[in-house]
Amino acid sequence: MYKITISDRLLHFKYPAGTSRGVYTTHHSYYVRLEADGLIGIGECSPLPDLSCDAMPDERYEKILRHICHFVERTGGIPYEMLRPYPSMLFGIETAFAQVDAGGSTGLFDTPFAHGEEGITINGLVWMGTFEEMYERLAEKLEAGFHCVKLKIGAIDWEREITLIRHIREHFDKTQIELRVDANGGFTPENAMQRLETLAKYDIHSIEQPIRQHQWHEMTRLCKESPLPIALDEELIGVNRPDQKLRLLDTIHPAYLVLKPSLHGGMAGCREWIKRAQERGIGSWITSALESNVGLNAVAQFCADVYGPHITMPQGLGTGLLYTDNIEMPLEIKGDKLWFLKNS
């Protein structure tokens, strides 16, 4: 017999989290608590306002989530096809089931990471802000031991952003620091190529989503002509059916996909993306999407299962210190690796 209860929580950022879409100061998450066979599993449903394909007013979101949870209680399984339009709900329910299947452990899969035997290499994340704020945050990441840093760009003055990147490269070459940039769609089709050519001078690993999504013709041209590898992120949101995924990959053919289970189809949907991308020689990595530590742990456990063991490409899992009121989970960042503390 299955029983699911739903709760919610308003999380508060330690510092405003700036992207080219705006600034986050709080984040609202829902939690599903699954009881089955004397075991408990908890998953996080965490849509991003104005971005997730299942973002909607709280009252409507909760109503749909309750309806789906009642369906799960009656049937005893996850209705994957029903949940394709609701990736954040699917991810939360998948997480709860995975924890029950793991005997109630938050080490969701049988991996060296879940056994506390190896960490996952992650990138340091520098949010948008003033030039001085970004410089200070960058210095903190380098001092902490990160060898891959992702900079959010596209919101402050372009010339100052390039000055910051130039400064980094004057002191650290690409063998010392791998630089990724994320424009969150902040460039335009008109200025994107010029900016990509400028960024390419500084040994940038890749750029995420240079222009806003749903401009397939322009994005296809950029991916074909850019001197800098392009990774798709927001472009994947709402592309939930297998046939849609194939059409996007075969049309745009990016260098990389940046996968977020809460946005891109839960664990099942991300496995589809990874399989089809690999068949086409397209790389990928996984990142969290501002979840609390409940969701972050699930993303990390999934990452270890799908890419591990011995993950060498830095993943985007360094968001556990974002909130003043986060939920305790046995996760710890040591240097540039995220570890699961099995016995804590």
Helix, coil or strand: residue 81: helix
Report how far residue 263's alpha carbon sits from residue 224's, in angstroms, rounded to the nearest whole number.
26
> H-type helices in 145-212, by residue range?
158-171, 192-200
In the block, which residue shows the tokens 């190896």? 118
- CB under 8 Å to 268, separation ≥6 — which residues? 80, 90, 94
Catalytic one among 150, 152, 245, 337? 152
C-alpha dist (Å) from residue 150 to 25, 124, 128 = 20, 6, 11
The 3-class SS string of 281-304 reads CCEEEEECCCCCHHHHHHHHHHHH
Beta carbons of 68 and 86 less than 8 angstroms apart: yes
Beta carbons of 196 and 222 less than 8 angstroms apart: yes
Report how far residue 341's alpha carbon sits from residue 105's, in angstroms, rounded to the nearest whole number.
12
Q: Is 3 a catalytic residue?
A: no
User: Torsion angle, CA of 89/80/285/251, rounded to 10 degrees?
Assistant: -110
Catalytic one among 141, 150, 245, 260? 260
Q: Is 174 a catalytic residue?
A: no
Active-site annotation, residues: 152, 260
